[in-house]
Structure 1
Amino acid sequence: MGVGESTRTIQCPSMHEISPCTCRVITKGKDSGLDIVCDHADQKHVRNALDVLKKNPYTIYWMKFRNCNLPRLPDYVFLGLDVRHLNIIRSNVSVIERSSLSALGSTLSTLDLSNNKIREVPSLALASLKGLTFLNLNYNQIQVLNEGAFTGLTVLERLSLYENKIQHIDDNAFKGIGRKLLRLNLGKNLLDDIPTDTFHPLTNLEVLDLHENRISHIPDGAFQGLHKLDMLKLEHNLITTIQENVFSDLTVLNSLNIEHNHIVNISARAFAGLESNLEWLELGHNRLDHIPSHALRPLHNLRQLDLDSNKISVVQEDAFRGYGDTIKYILLDKNHIKSIPPLAFMDLHSLEWLKLSHNEMTHLTEDAVQPILDTLTMIDVSNNPLECSCDLLWLRKWLSNPNNQDNMVSQDDHICVTKERKSHVISNLPFKEFNCPISLPTENRSPNRASVLTCPHVLVALGLLSTFVKENTW
C-alpha cells in the first residue's frame, strides 16, 4: 500500500458483508483501489457482495470470480461500479445478456471469460466496451465467428479464442474491430482452412496463432495486408505442401513455426518475401526427406533452423551454402542421417549449437566439423551408433574440454562402440582405444611427417611422443 492520502481513505467493506468474497486495497502509481476475489460463490452471494460494493464509490482494479456458479450474467448487474479488470473464469457462464456489461463501457480495460460454457461471441454485450484492450474467451464452446462479431472493440489489442470449437470464420468477422489489434490466438480449434479474406482488416497485427487446428492447405493471399506480422504459428496442423509466395505479404515476419505438420514438399519460392527479416524457422516433426536448401537460400538473416524429427537421410555438401552465415542453431536430431560430408558445414561461420542426436551415424570426421569448431559451444551427437575409431578423437577432446562442460544440454552420454561391440563413454575412453595408427621413427632414420602419422585426422607433435609412450593417454 502507498502512504498517500487516497490510500488512507479507501477502505474495504467488512469480510462479513461480502462473504465469501474477499477484499484488499492495492495501489497503482499514485492511485489506490480495491482487489475483489470471489471463489466458489453462487449467484445469490455474488449479488449481495456487488450490492455492498455499490455503496462505496471506489475504483475496483481487479474483480475476480473463480469457480463460481454464474450461469447467467443479467442486464445491468455491474451498474454503479467502476471496474478496470474483470475476470469471470470457471464459473459456468453460458448466457451474457445484452446490457450486462454496459455499465463498465467507459472503464473496463481487460475482460477474461475463459473456461466457461459460452457458445457464441456475446457481440451485443461487448459492443459497449469502448476501452477494452484485452479479451480472453479461451476454453469455451464457440463454434462460429459471425460477421462483425467484435464490432465496437475499437481499441482492442489482444484477442484470444484458444481451445473453442470454431469451425467457420466469416470473412467479415473482424470488421469493425479497429486497427490496434496486435495479437490474435485461434489455436486449438476445428478450422479446416484459412479463410482468405478474414485477416485483411487487421493491418497492425503482430502475432497470429493458428496452431492445433485441421488446416491442410495455405491458400494464396491468406495473409494479405498483414505487413506488420512478426510471428506466425501454424504448428500441429495437417499441412502437406508449402507452395510458392504464400507468405509474400509478410515482409517483416521474424518467426515462422510450421512444425508438427505433414509437410513433404516445399517450393523453391515458398519463403519469398521473408528474405530480410525471418530469423526463426521451425520445420521439425514433418515428413521432409532432405534439407530444403533451394527454399532456404534466400533467407539471409536466418538464426535458427529446426528440422528435427523428419525423414532426412542425406546432408548434401551444399546443404547450407549461401544462407548459413547468420545461423546460430541447427537442429537435425531424430532423423535418419548416416553421415556428414566434409564440406557440409563450410558456410556456417556463426554456428553455436548443432544437434545431431538420434540419427544413424557411425562416423563423424574432424574434416566435417573443422569449419565450425571455433564457434561451436554445444554439439549433441548422442544416440548414434558411432564407432570408436580415429575419426572420433576430435570429439573426445571437445567433450573433455572443461570450457565446454557448461554448454552440455544432452542428458545422455556420448557413446561409441568398439570392434568387440563394447560400448564406451567417449570422453572417458583412453587414447589407444581410438586405434589411430602411429609409427615411431627408427634409430638411424630422421622421422618425416608421413612415417610419424598415418591417421590424417590427428596432429601429434614429435615432442609429445615420449609422453604418449609413458602415459598411454591423451
Structure 2
Amino acid sequence: MKKDEVKIAMVGVAARRVSSAGDGVGRGRAGGSRNHLKQRVLALGLWLALGLAHGAAGAATGDNIMSVGETSRMAQCPSAHEISPCTCRVMKKGKQSGLDIVCDHADQKHVRNALDVLKKNPFTIYWMKFRNCNLPRLPDYVFLGLGVRHLNIIRSNVSAIERSSLSALGRTLLTLDLANNKIREVPTAALSALKGLIFLNLNYNQIHVLNEGAFDGLGVLQRLSLYENKIQHIDDNAFKGIGRNLLRLNLGKNLLDDIPTDTFHPLTNLKVLDLHENRISHIPDGAFKGLHRLDMLKLEHNLITTIQENVFSDLTLLNSLNIEHNLITNISDRAFAGVEEKLEWLEMGHNGLDHIPSHALRPLHNLRQLDLDSNRITHVQEDAFRGYGDTIKYILLEKNHIKNIPTLSFMDLHSLEWLMLSHNELRHLTEDTVQPILDTLTMIDVSNNPLVCSCDLLWLRKWLSNPNNRENLISKDNHLCVTEDRKSHIIHKLPVQDFNCPQDSPTLVPPVTQAPPQIWPSTPENKTSGHTLPGRTTVQSPNTAEVLACSPLLVAMSFMSSVMSEKNW
C-alpha cells in the first residue's frame, strides 16, 4: 500500500499527525500530507498550544470584547438584496454575536456596495471572506468603519495593497489570509498597522524576495506562511521587528538554494520551521543557531546529499525531523548530536541509503518512529537496532532491497508495534527472528516479498489467521508465499500441511498428556492441533466419559494405560 496511506493509518492509531492545511501547507507527495508518517501527537499538542495562544492573543486584542459602538443586542444581517451577491449569517460566541460575511465571484463595485451597507451597522464581523472575486487593488481605507476579526481574500486577483487599505482594522484583525493572489512583494506598509495580527497567510503568490523588515510591526504574530511563492533570497534582517512570538514559519515550495543561516537566529521561540520543497543541497554549520525551542523541522523534498556531524546540535528540543525525499547517501555518526534526548519522529525515506545508519541512531534513546522506506538497503545488521530500539514503536523499511534479516535483529525492540517490510526481497522470515516482538506487535506487513511456503512461515499464517490481527491489517495486498511447484498462495488460506513441517513438529501435533481435561484459554488466538480457532470463543474439551463412549479403541488404550500404571511400568 502507499506510504501515505500507511501514515494516515498511523495517525489514527497514534493520534499524532495533524494536517497543516490550516496554514495552506502543501505536500509534494500524492495523497497530501503524511502529512507527515506530515501529521503527530507532538503536532497535536503544538496546535492545541497555538489555539490557546490564539485565545490569549484574542483577549489581548479585544477578541472577546465588543468593538467601539457595538451594543449588547443580538447582531442582525442586512437584507439579502442589499449586499448581494454577498451573503450574511449571524454567529454567536457566548453572550456575544457577530456576522459571517461571504462574497463569492463578486467584482469591486458589488464589494464596495456591500461594505457600505455593512458600515451602517455597529455589529462586529467575525469572518469576512472574499473568494474568487475580481479585486486587483485594495484601496486606502476600504474597511473604514468596520470591525473585522478574520479577513480572507483568496483567489481574487489581488496584486496591489495600498498603504492605508488595512489601517482601519489595526485594533480588531487577528488573522489575514491573502492566499492564491498575484502579490509580488510583502505589503509591509499596509501590514504594519495590524498590531494584533497573529496569523498571516501569503501562500501561492509571486513573492521573490523577503527584504529587510518585511514584517516590521507585526509584534504579536504567531504563524506566518509563505508556501509556494518564488522566494530566492531572504535578507538577514527580514524578520526584524516581528517579535519573539512567532511559533510557526512555513517557507516550503520556494526557490531557496541554501538555508539563510543568519535569518532565523532572532526567532528564539519558533516551534515549527518548514523548508520542504526547495532546492537546498547543503545544511551549513550553525544553520539553526538560536532555535533552541524548535520542535519540528521539515527539510523533505530538497537536494541534500549528506548529513554531517553536529548540524542539528542547537536544536536541543527537536522532537520531529523530516529529511525524506532528498539525495542522502551519507549520514555522519554524529549527525544527530544534540538532539539525543528529545527526538522521537525521524523520517529518512526516499533517499539513497544502502544500510541502516545504526551508529548515528544509537544515541537517540527516545526514538519512537524510524522511517527508512524507499532507500537502497539490502540487509539488516544483527545489531541494527541495538542501543536505541527500546522505545521504537514504528519501523518502516518497505520498498528496499532487503534479502535477509538475522535471527537476533529484533532482540532490542521491546516496544515495537508496527513493522513494515513490504516490497523487499525476503524469501524467509523465521519465527525465531520475530519471536522477541510478537508480544507487542499489532501490525506486520511483509506483502510483496518472494516468501517461500515453508515451516518457517507457519507463524505468519497463524498471525494473519487471527481475526483480531486482520482487523488491524492495512495492506491492500494479500500476503503470498510460493510452494515448490512455483505457485503463489495466500498465506492465511494455505492448509497447514502444505507448509511441509516435520510430522513430529510440536507446532502441528499437540503433546500427549494424561492431565485431566482443561478449558481452552480464551486468548486472541485459540489453537488446537496447529489450527487457529476463529474469534475469541472459549472452547471446552469433551469430558473423559464422552470420549470413551465414542471410541472403543480409546477404551482399550485407557484400560492398558491403567494396568501399566498399576504395575509401575
Q: TM-score range by the shorter chain?
A: over 0.9
Residue 374 (str. 1) matches residue 439 (str. 2): yes
Residue in structure 2 matching 1:223, options 288, 297, 301: 288
Distance 1:118 1:37, change over 3 A: same
* Inter-partner Cα distance in structure 2 for 1:155 and 1:14: 37
- Judge conservation of contact 1:6–1:32 (CA < 8 Å) in 2: no
Q: Which is further off, 181-190 or 11-20?
A: 11-20
- The residue identity in structure 1 corresponding to 2:336 is F
* Inter-partner Cα distance in structure 1 for 2:408 and 2:475: 25
Correspondence for 1:463: 512
Residue in structure 1 matching 2:354, options 261, 283, 289: 289
Gaps (5+ residues) in structure 2? Answer: 1-69, 514-527, 533-569
Residue 190 (str. 1) matches residue 255 (str. 2): yes
Correspondence for 2:456: 391
Q: Which is further off, 398-407 or 93-102?
A: 398-407
CA distances 1:408-443 after superposition (whole Å, capped 9, x unpaired): 1111111000111011111111111111122xxxxx
Structure showing the higher helix proportion among its residues: 2
Look up the SS of the partner of 1:314 in the other structure.
coil
- The residue identity in structure 1 corresponding to 2:157 is N
- Judge conservation of contact 1:275–1:298 (CA < 8 Å) in 2: yes
Correspondence for 1:419: 484
Q: Which is further off, 47-56 or 82-91?
A: 47-56
- Judge conservation of contact 1:240–1:265 (CA < 8 Å) in 2: yes
* Inter-partner Cα distance in structure 1 for 2:151 and 2:453: 63
Residue 272 (str. 1) matches residue 337 (str. 2): yes
- The residue identity in structure 2 corresponding to 1:264 is T
Look up the SS of the partner of 2:497 in the other structure.
helix
Residue in structure 2 matching 1:95, options 160, 164, 178: 160
- The residue identity in structure 2 corresponding to 1:434 is F
Aligned residues: 449
- Judge conservation of contact 1:311–1:336 (CA < 8 Å) in 2: yes
Look up the SS of the partner of 1:396 in the other structure.
helix
- Judge conservation of contact 2:127–2:151 (CA < 8 Å) in 1: yes
Look up the SS of the partner of 1:197 in the other structure.
helix
Q: Which is further off, 335-344 or 394-403?
A: 394-403
Spell out the pairing of 1:44-83 with structure 2 (5 A cutoff). Answer: 44-83=109-148
Residue in structure 1 matching 2:242, options 177, 199, 203: 177
* Inter-partner Cα distance in structure 1 for 2:74 and 2:297: 48
Q: Which is further off, 417-426 or 44-53?
A: 44-53
CA distances 1:166-191 after superposition (whole Å, capped 9, x unpaired): 11111111111010001111111111
- The residue identity in structure 1 corresponding to 2:232 is Q
CA distances 1:383-407 after superposition (whole Å, capped 9, x unpaired): 0000111110111111112231221
Correspondence for 1:449: none
Using structure 2 for the length normalisation, give the TM-score.
Answer: 0.77
Correspondence for 2:232: 167
CA distances 1:93-140 after superposition (whole Å, capped 9, x unpaired): 000011111111111110000000000000111011000000000110
- Judge conservation of contact 1:432–1:472 (CA < 8 Å) in 2: no
CA distances 1:185-222 after superposition (whole Å, capped 9, x unpaired): 11111111101101111111111111111111111111
Correspondence for 1:234: 299
Give the % identical residues: 83
* Inter-partner Cα distance in structure 1 for 2:481 and 2:280: 43
* Inter-partner Cα distance in structure 2 for 1:117 and 1:202: 28
* Inter-partner Cα distance in structure 1 for 2:529 and 2:394: 38
- Judge conservation of contact 1:430–1:473 (CA < 8 Å) in 2: no
- Judge conservation of contact 2:125–2:147 (CA < 8 Å) in 1: yes
Residue in structure 1 matching 2:199, options 128, 134, 155: 134
* Inter-partner Cα distance in structure 2 for 1:381 and 1:6: 66
* Inter-partner Cα distance in structure 2 for 1:149 and 1:434: 69
Distance 1:33 1:427, change over 3 A: same
Q: CA deviation at 1:472?
A: 9.6
Correspondence for 2:88: 23
Gaps (5+ residues) in structure 1? Answer: 439-451, 465-469
* Two-structure CA RMSD over aligned residues (Å): 1.7
* Inter-partner Cα distance in structure 2 for 1:29 and 1:462: 70
Look up the SS of the partner of 2:336 in the other structure.
coil
Correspondence for 1:441: none
* Inter-partner Cα distance in structure 2 for 1:374 and 1:9: 60
- The residue identity in structure 1 corresponding to 2:84 is S
Distance 1:58 1:361, change over 3 A: same
* Inter-partner Cα distance in structure 2 for 1:395 and 1:473: 13
Correspondence for 2:523: none
- Judge conservation of contact 1:81–1:104 (CA < 8 Å) in 2: yes
Correspondence for 2:497: 432
* Inter-partner Cα distance in structure 2 for 1:85 and 1:284: 38
CA distances 1:342-374 after superposition (whole Å, capped 9, x unpaired): 010010000010000000011111111111111
- The residue identity in structure 2 corresponding to 1:337 is I
Correspondence for 1:313: 378
Correspondence for 1:446: none
Residue in structure 2 matching 1:12, options 58, 77, 80: 77
Q: Which is further off, 20-29 or 177-186?
A: 20-29
Look up the SS of the partner of 1:65 in the other structure.
strand
* Inter-partner Cα distance in structure 2 for 1:138 and 1:333: 34
- Judge conservation of contact 2:508–2:530 (CA < 8 Å) in 1: no
Look up the SS of the partner of 1:364 in the other structure.
coil
Q: CA deviation at 1:460?
A: 4.4
* Inter-partner Cα distance in structure 2 for 1:122 and 1:429: 67
Q: CA deviation at 1:14?
A: 1.5
Correspondence for 1:113: 178
